[in-house]
Amino acid sequence: MLQQTQVATVIDYFNNFVVNFPTVVALANADEEEVLASWAGLGYYSRARNLHKSARIVLSKYRGIFPTSHSELISLPGVGESTAGAILSLACNQSRPILDGNVKRVLSRCHRVAGHYSDSKVLKEFWRLAKYHTPSKQNANYTQAIMDLGATICVPRKPLCSRCPVSRHCKANLCNDQASFPQKKARTIRPEKSLALLAYRNDKGDIYLVKRPNKGVWGGLWSFEECEDTKTAITAAIKEHNIKASIVSSLPKFKHSFTHYHLWIRPIIINSPSLEKGYFNINKMALGIPTPVKKIITMLDSLNPTKSNE
C-alpha cells in the first residue's frame, strides 16, 4: 500500500484491509474481487492483485510462512528491490538497503547527486550510496530513521536543516543549495483525453457495470460502459445496449487527472428498462469501483434517492 502512496493516505485503507484479511492465509483464501473492493480508491490496483497473488504463493509454496530471504522475497509479484529491502530491514533487522522517495531525497542532498533518478545511471548511483550507508547492525533502526528524516526534516520544500541531525555531513547544506536537490525531472506536458461514461439504471435502480481488464487503467475494477464523447457515439452505444433506453440527463463533464494524462469524463445518466444481466445493486455488493465512477454513482443517488437502497 505504501508504494508511491503517503502514509496518511494509507492508514484507513490499511486498518480496513487487515480487518478483512487478518492473515496471509485469509488473504490467500479470499477472492480477488474482495481484495480489489478493499483496495478501491487507493490506486495502482496491480498492487492489490499482486499482493493477493503473493499471499497465495506464500500459502502454497511456503506453507503460509512469509519468507525471509532476499531471493524468495524478490520473486514475489509486487515485491521489488526496495520493498524487499524494507521488509528485510524493518521486519527482520537484516542489513539490506532500501531506496524510496524519502531516501532518494536525503541522499541526493547529502551527496549533492546531480541528475534525476529516472536516469538509470543516476539511479545506480543512488543504490550505491544507499548500500554504502546501510549499517551491518541495527539496520531496522537505521532504515526507519532515514525514511523519517526524509518525511519530517529533509522534506521536498524548505527542508528544516537547522533541526537535522546530519546537517554537518550534508554537502548540500554546506553549500547552502538544498533547494537544488533532488534535481527536478524535465517536466512533460500531460495529454488530455476524453470519454463518456454511460450510467445505465434499470427499473429496480440497479446499475450496469462492466469488469475492466487487468491490463490498463483501473485494472480489474468495475466501471460504466464507456464510449467516445460525441453525440453520435453516445446515441449509438445506448441503442446497442438497450433499444428501450432513454437519456435522463447528460451531466457536465469533469476532469480526472492521472500521473501521465488528464481525462475529461462526461457522465450520461440513462434509464434502461427491462434489463437485468450485468446490473448490480452496488449497495449490496462489495465491488472495486474507481474513484470517478464512485463519484458519478453518488451523483446518481442524489438524483434519485428513493430507489437506491432497497
Partner DNA sequence: GAGCCGTGGGA
Partner DNA sequence: TTCCCAAGGCT
Residue 256 binds DNA, judged by CB under 7 A: yes
Cell 520473486 belongs to: 75
Binding test (CB under 7 A) with DNA, winner from 15, 71, 120, 232: 120
Q: Please, are residues 98 and 82 in contact by the beta-carbon 8 Å criterion?
A: yes
Residue 292 binds DNA, judged by CB under 7 A: yes
Question: Least distance in Å: CB of 1 to DNA?
Answer: 8
For DNA, the closer of residues 119 and 177 by Cβ is 119
Q: Please, are residues 196 and 266 in contact by the beta-carbon 8 Å criterion?
A: yes
- Stretch of 7-15, 27-35, 60-68, 268-276 lying at the interface with DNA (CB under 7 A): 7-15
For DNA, the closer of residues 11 and 233 by Cβ is 11
Q: Rounded to whole angstroms, how far apart are CA atoms 100 and 3?
A: 8
Q: Rounded to whole angstroms, how far apart are CA atoms 210 and 280?
A: 10
User: Within positions 148 to 177, which residues make up the interface with DNA, using CB under 7 A?
Assistant: 148, 150-151, 156-157
Pairing mode of beta strands 279-280, 225-227: unpaired
Residue 97 binds DNA, judged by CB under 7 A: no
Binding test (CB under 7 A) with DNA, winner from 283, 291, 298, 304: 291
Q: Rounded to whole angstroms, how far apart are CA atoms 98 and 88?
A: 9
For DNA, the closer of residues 156 and 273 by Cβ is 156
For DNA, the closer of residues 263 and 300 by Cβ is 263
Nearest to 100 by CA among 147, 35, 47: 147
User: Within positions 36 to 75, which residues make up the interface with DNA, using CB under 7 A?
Assistant: 41-46, 50
Question: Least distance in Å: CB of 21 to DNA?
Answer: 18
For DNA, the closer of residues 59 and 154 by Cβ is 154
Print the binding letters for residues 131-150 with DNA: x by CB under 7 A, - otherwise. -------------x--xx-x
Three-state DSSP class for 103?
helix
Binding test (CB under 7 A) with DNA, winner from 16, 65, 258, 310: 258
For DNA, the closer of residues 97 and 205 by Cβ is 97
Residue 89 binds DNA, judged by CB under 7 A: no
Nearest to 44 by CA among 293, 218, 294, 295: 218
Three-state DSSP class for 22?
coil
Q: DSSP assignment of 179-197, as one string?
A: GG-SPPPPP-PPPEEEEEE
Reported in sequence order, the residue ranges of 18-105 that DSSP labels E, i.e. its strands, are: none
Residue 11 binds DNA, judged by CB under 7 A: no
- Stretch of 5-13, 129-137, 167-175, 270-278 lying at the interface with DNA (CB under 7 A): 5-13
CA distances from 275 to 213, 237, 267 (A): 23, 15, 20
Residue 44 Ramachandran class (φ > 0 left, ψ -120 to 50 alpha, else beta): left
Q: Please, are residues 247 and 269 in contact by the beta-carbon 8 Å criterion?
A: yes
Total residues at the site for DNA (CB under 7 A)?
Answer: 57
Q: Please, are residues 122 and 107 in contact by the beta-carbon 8 Å criterion?
A: no
Q: Rounded to whole angstroms, how far apart are CA atoms 38 and 36?
A: 5
Residue 290 binds DNA, judged by CB under 7 A: yes
Binding test (CB under 7 A) with DNA, winner from 81, 226, 229, 301: 81
Name the site residues for DNA (rule: CB under 7 A).
2-9, 41-46, 50, 77-84, 86, 100-102, 104-105, 118-120, 144, 147-148, 150-151, 156-157, 184-185, 187, 189-190, 216-219, 255-260, 290-292
